[in-house]
Amino acid sequence: MTAVPPHIPGAESIGDPDTGTLGEHTARQLLRLGGIAGLSATDSKVYARTLVEALGPVADRPLRLPPADDSFISDDHTPVEFSLSFEPGTAPTLRVLLEPGAGAPDPAENGRTGLRVLRRLADRWGFSTGRLDELEDLFFPPAPKGPLALWCALELRPGGVPRVKAYLNPAANGAKNAARTVRKALKRLGHRHAFKSLPDGDRHLFFALDLGDWAEPRVKVYLAHQELSAPQAAGLTQMADGPDAGEIEEFLRITTGADGDGVTGPDAGADGRPARRLMRRPLQSCHAFTDRQTSLPTGFTLYVPVRDHLPHDGEALARATDLLKRYGMDPAPLHHALAAVTSRQPEDGVGLVAYLGLAHQEGRPPRIMTYISSEAYEVRPPAVPRAEAAAVAGR
């Protein structure tokens, strides 16, 4: 049982881990991040309120209680994750990913809650959920399986009206049916031959839809790749103006420290034994389709779970800084963002920076995505580098 700390009158500052709620904690993080991303105080407040409303009852859950369920959004099961998307010459865009059905009694109810919340957002902002409605029977069976039912991401642009994305679970009908579900869903949305331009992957992770006011709404398929060399990673995309092998190799070298054909990094586990490699999360690729005339993707993103490759967030931040500079982007907002979500030092944990991503989309300059954990519940301790662990063991 979780011990309830004594109530200390006057100590209930917003987001205080002992007395605050999940909603207060994440709303405060969003307010601070909004300023860093160049949003007005009014817009940030509207978005913070939207986040809390979309979370529903779990927003009121005190942080001294454990997470309501094992949300797959983040490692400590906070059902919220922030990200900054960087583009040259402008302030980064703040996004928030959330699980509206977090805390639901079962996956079916989780999915129903997610749909209800998305439709409410659509009513409020006057966009259509038509494309999602068309897929409801494929992704929301009576007894869904898998690590999520529905996630929603809000792109928090100036003006108080976000762009919205829905993330669905290809394995809702069981992992062995995931590929078939993706193929059917693509087809139903008019991307008749898109499925065959997807590369091989180890698993279909997410099926995502842009909803709302997008210039070119995308349908996106996310694949997991357990072991991948840099040349293999570079060969994953069929998009016309995609990244070349050199660019992908450099991205992997900067983000993981790999120097050649393998994605390597500190292999030592916390006990110094080289066990981590097999436990690493996979690389992920995302293939975006906008054009129904051709079957080819118009967007490609590669994601590296840097938290499984680097010993602590100090190194993740240093590598993200190198990467942003390499693309002519200002890394200062990322430094400010980490300080805005936590008072801990980056070196004192790993996973605050969950992923780094490199996105190519037709007609746009490349973007760098940085995923920032809320850490509402837990900080993963830094990994002990192998040399240090050996020195400790040999003492």
Among 152, 303, 310, 374, binds ligand TRP (CB under 6 A): 303
Name residues contacting ligand TRP, limited to 340-359 (CB under 6 A). Answer: 354-355
Give least dist CB 231 to ligand TRP, A.
22
Among 72, 125, 214, 327, binds ligand TRP (CB under 6 A): 72
Of 71-79, 107-115, 324-332, 379-387, the window that binds ligand TRP (rule: CB under 6 A) is 71-79
* Residue entry with tokens 């099961």: 77
Q: Which is nearer to ligand TRP, 207 or 371 (CB)?
A: 371
Give least dist CB 13 to ligand TRP, A.
29
Q: Does 377 bind ligand TRP (CB under 6 A)?
A: no
- Name the residue type at position 222: Y
Q: Kindly state the DSSP code that residue 174 receives in the 8-state scheme.
A: -
Among 74, 110, 285, 342, binds ligand TRP (CB under 6 A): 74
Q: Which is nearer to ligand TRP, 19 or 379 (CB)?
A: 379
Q: Which is nearer to ligand TRP, 243 or 305 (CB)?
A: 305
Token pair for 306: 């840097």
Q: Does 113 bind ligand TRP (CB under 6 A)?
A: no
Say how far apart CA 342 and CA 273 lie, in whole Å. Answer: 30
Token pair for 114: 């997610």
Spatial contact of 360 and 323, defined as CB atoms under 8 Å apart: no
Q: Does 327 bind ligand TRP (CB under 6 A)?
A: no
Token pair for 74: 């983040």
Give least dist CB 211 to ligand TRP, A.
19
Spatial contact of 170 and 207, defined as CB atoms under 8 Å apart: yes
Residue 27: its H or E element: helix 22-36
Rounded (10°) angle between helices 41-55 and 107-125: 150
Q: Does 81 bind ligand TRP (CB under 6 A)?
A: yes
Closest CA to 296 of 238, 217, 234: 238
Q: Does 373 bind ligand TRP (CB under 6 A)?
A: no
Spatial contact of 63 and 56, defined as CB atoms under 8 Å apart: no
Among 140, 251, 289, 371, binds ligand TRP (CB under 6 A): 371
Of 10-18, 54-62, 68-76, 190-198, the window that binds ligand TRP (rule: CB under 6 A) is 68-76
Token pair for 17: 């881990």
Strands (E), the chain: 80-86, 93-98, 150-155, 163-168, 203-211, 219-225, 283-289, 299-304, 353-361, 367-373
Q: Which is nearer to ligand TRP, 139 or 355 (CB)?
A: 355
Of 66-74, 101-109, 110-118, 383-391, the window that binds ligand TRP (rule: CB under 6 A) is 66-74
Give least dist CB 224 to ligand TRP, A.
8
Residues in the chain: 395
Of 18-26, 67-75, 173-181, 386-394, the window that binds ligand TRP (rule: CB under 6 A) is 67-75
Of 17-25, 72-80, 130-138, 311-319, the window that binds ligand TRP (rule: CB under 6 A) is 72-80
DSSP 261-315: SS-------TTSSS-HHHHSPPEEEEEEE--SSSSS-SEEEEEE-GGGTSSSHHH
Q: Does 26 bind ligand TRP (CB under 6 A)?
A: no
